[in-house]
Amino acid sequence: PAQNKHDIAAIAKLFDMRADFVHAHPYGSGHINDTYCAYYDQAGQRIRYIHQRLSTEAFKKPIELMENVQRVTEHALNELLKSGDKEARRRTLTCIPSVEGTPHAIDADGNCWRTYPFIERARTYDTIESEAQAMEAARAFGEFQKLTATLPGKPLHETIPGFHNTKQRFQHLEDAIAADTHGRAAEVQKEIEWFMARKDEASIVVDLLESGELPLRVTHNDTKLNNVMLDDVTGEGVCVIDLDTTMPGSAIYDFGDMVRTATSPVAEDEEDTSKITMRMFMFEALVKGYLSSAKEFLTDKEVSLLAFSGKLLTMECGSRFLTDYLKGDVYFKVHKDRHNLIRTRSQMALAESIEAQMPEMEALVAKYR
Ligand code: ATP
Ligand code: MG
Ligand code: MG
pLDDT digits over 18-76, tens only?
999 999 999 998 888 999 999 999 999 999 999 999 998 889 999 999 999 999 999 99
* Ligand 2 center to 30 CA (angstroms): 5
How many Cβ atoms from other residues are within 10 Å of residue 174's Cβ?
Answer: 15
Q: Is 121 exposed, middle or buried (0-12, 13-18, 19+ CB in 10 A)?
A: exposed
pLDDT tens, residue by residue, 277-293:
999 999 999 999 999 99
What domains lie within the chain, and their CATH numbers? 8-119 (3.30.200), 131-368 (3.90.1200.10)
How far is ligand 2, taken at its centre, from the CA of residue 183, in Å?
A: 35
CA–CA dist 4, 1 (Å, integer) = 9
Q: Name the closest ligand to CA 116.
A: 1
Q: Encode pLDDT of 242-273 as tens digits.
A: 999 999 999 999 999 999 999 999 999 999 99
Percentage of the residues of the chain whose pLDDT score is greater than 70: 100
Report CA-CA distances (Å) from 318 to 79, 126, 166, 352: 38, 21, 11, 12
Gyration radius from the chain CA atoms: 21
242 burial type by CB count under 10 A (0-12 exposed, 13-18 middle, 19+ buried): buried
Q: Ligand 1: which of 49, 50, 92 to mutate, most ligand atoms within 8 Å of CB?
A: 50
pLDDT at 2 (0 to 100): 78
The sign of the dihedral angle between the CA atoms of 254, 256, 261, 263 is positive
For the ranges 169-173, 329-333, 361-365, the lowest mean pLDDT is seen at: 329-333
Q: Give the Cα-Cα-Cα angle 163, 164, 169 (nearest 5 degrees).
A: 90
Beta bridge partners of 114: 52
Residue 124 has pLDDT above 80, yes or no: yes
Give me the mean pLDDT over the 5-9 stretch: 97
Which residue, judged by its Cα, is nearest atom 14 of ligand 1? 30
Taking the alpha carbons at both ends of the chain, their separation in whole angstroms is 47
Ligand 1 centre to CA of 55 (Å) is 13
- 342 CA to centre of ligand 1 in angstroms: 28
Q: How far is the CA of 31 from the centre of ligand 1 (A)?
A: 9
Q: Which ligand is closest in space to the CA of residue 36?
A: 1
- Supply the pLDDT for residue 29: 87
What pairs with residue 176 in β-bridges? Answer: none
- Nearest atom (ligand 1) to Cα of 124: 20
The rounded mean pLDDT for the chain is 96
Q: Which atom of ligand 1 is nearest to the CA of 244?
A: 7
Residues 316-329 have a mean pLDDT of 97
CA of 182 to the centre of ligand 3 (A): 31
Reported as a single tens digit per residue, the pLDDT across 142-196 is: 999 999 999 999 999 999 889 999 999 999 999 999 999 999 999 999 999 999 9
Which residues are registered as beta bridge partners of 52? 35, 114
Ion ligand 2: protein residues whose beta carbon lies under 5 Å = 30, 227, 242
For 108, list phi and psi in degrees, rounded to 5. -60, -25
pLDDT at position 201 is 96
Can you tell me the mean pLDDT for 325-330? 96
Q: What is the mean pLDDT of residues 323-340?
A: 95
Distance 86 CA to ligand 1 centre (A): 24
Q: Give the per-residue pLDDT at 359.
A: 98
Q: Which of 241, 243, 244, 268 to mutate to test the pocket of ligand 1 (most atoms within 8 A of CB)?
A: 241
What is the mean predicted confidence (pLDDT) over 297-305? 98
- The yes-or-no verdict on residue 1 having pLDDT over 80 is no
Residues with CB under 6 A from ligand 1: 27-28, 30-33, 35, 50, 93, 116, 118-119, 124, 226-227, 241-242, 244
